[in-house]
Structure 1
Amino acid sequence: MSWLSGCAQPIHLQGSRPQTEAWAMARGWSPAELAAQPFNLLGLLRQTAVSQTLALYIEGDGAPWPSAYRPPQDPTPIRPLAMLLAERDTAAAVAYLGRPCQYLSTSELRQCSPVYWTDRRFSAEVLQAMDRAVSELKHQAGAERLRLVGYSGGGVLATLLAQRRDDVELLVTLAAPLALNEWSRRLQLSPLHGSLDPLDGPRQRARALHFSGAADQVVPTAVAAHFVARHGGRLEQVPGFDHACCWLQRWPALLTALENGQ
Structure 2
Amino acid sequence: MQTAQSLAHQAGWARLELGSAPLQLVGYGPTPVSGTSHLTVYIEGDGFAWRSRARPSQDPTPINPIGLKLALRHPSGAAVYLARPCMYQRGPTTSCKDPAYWTQKRFSKDVINVTQQAIEQLKHHYQVDTLSLVGYSGGAALATLVAAQRSDVSQLITVAGNLDTHGWIAHHRLTPIDGPNPIDNASALAELSQWHFVGEKDAIIPPRLTHGFVQAIPQPHQVQIITVPGFTHHCCWVDHWQALYPNT
Shared fold by TM > 0.5? yes
- Distance change >3 Å, CA 108–CA 195, structure 1 → 2: farther
Task: Give the aligned length.
Answer: 241
**Is 2:2 the counterpart of 1:13?**
yes
Match of 2:60 in 1: 75
Match of 1:179 in 2: 164
Alignment of 1:75-224 (within 5 A): 75-108=60-93, 111-192=96-177, 194-201=178-185, 202-204=187-189, 205-224=191-210
Alignment of 1:4-43 (within 5 A): 12-14=1-3, 20-43=4-27
SS at match of 1:32: strand
- Distance change >3 Å, CA 182–CA 35, structure 1 → 2: closer
Contact 2:198 2:227 in 1 (8 A): yes
- Distance change >3 Å, CA 177–CA 35, structure 1 → 2: closer
Give the stretch that moved more between structures: 89-98 or 160-169.
Answer: 89-98
Aligned counterpart in structure 1 of residue 215 of structure 2, from 229, 232, 235:
229
- Distance change >3 Å, CA 247–CA 110, structure 1 → 2: same
Task: Write the letter of the residue equivalent to 2:244.
Answer: L
1:26-45 CA distance string (max 9 Å, x none): 31212224233332211122
1:68-111 CA distance string (max 9 Å, x none): 11222210001110101111113231111010011012325564
Q: Quote the Cα distance in structure 2 between the aligned partners of 1:49 and 1:81.
A: 28
Q: Quote the Cα distance in structure 2 between the aligned partners of 1:223 and 1:37.
A: 35
Structure 1: 5+ residue stretches without partners: 1-11, 15-19
Structure 2: 5+ residue stretches without partners: none
Task: Write the letter of the residue equivalent to 1:104.
Answer: Q
Q: Quote the Cα distance in structure 1 between the aligned partners of 2:52 and 2:6.
A: 32
Q: Quote the Cα distance in structure 1 between the aligned partners of 2:95 and 2:148.
A: 32
- Distance change >3 Å, CA 97–CA 169, structure 1 → 2: same
Aligned-residue offset at 1:64: 5.6
Q: Which structure shows the higher strand fraction?
A: 2
Normalised by the size of structure 2, how large is the TM-score? 0.91
1:126-154 CA distance string (max 9 Å, x none): 00000010111111111111010010000
What RMSD, in angstroms, separates the aligned Cα atoms of the two structures? 1.7
Q: Quote the Cα distance in structure 2 between the aligned partners of 1:74 and 1:148.
A: 25
Question: Which ranges of 4 or more aligned residues in structure 1 deviate by more than 3 Å?
Answer: 20-23, 108-111
Q: Quote the Cα distance in structure 2 between the aligned partners of 1:234 and 1:29.
A: 31
Q: Quote the Cα distance in structure 2 between the aligned partners of 1:125 and 1:249.
A: 34
Aligned-residue offset at 1:22: 5.0
Match of 1:59 in 2: 44
Give the stretch that moved more between structures: 176-185 or 23-32.
Answer: 23-32
Task: Write the letter of the residue equivalent to 2:183.
Answer: L
Q: Quote the Cα distance in structure 1 between the aligned partners of 2:173 and 2:45.
A: 21
Match of 1:242 in 2: 232
SS at match of 1:237: strand
- Distance change >3 Å, CA 253–CA 116, structure 1 → 2: same
- Distance change >3 Å, CA 33–CA 114, structure 1 → 2: closer
Give aligned-pair identity as a percent: 38
Normalised by the size of structure 1, how large is the TM-score? 0.86
SS at match of 2:68: helix
Give the stretch that moved more between structures: 229-238 or 20-29.
Answer: 20-29
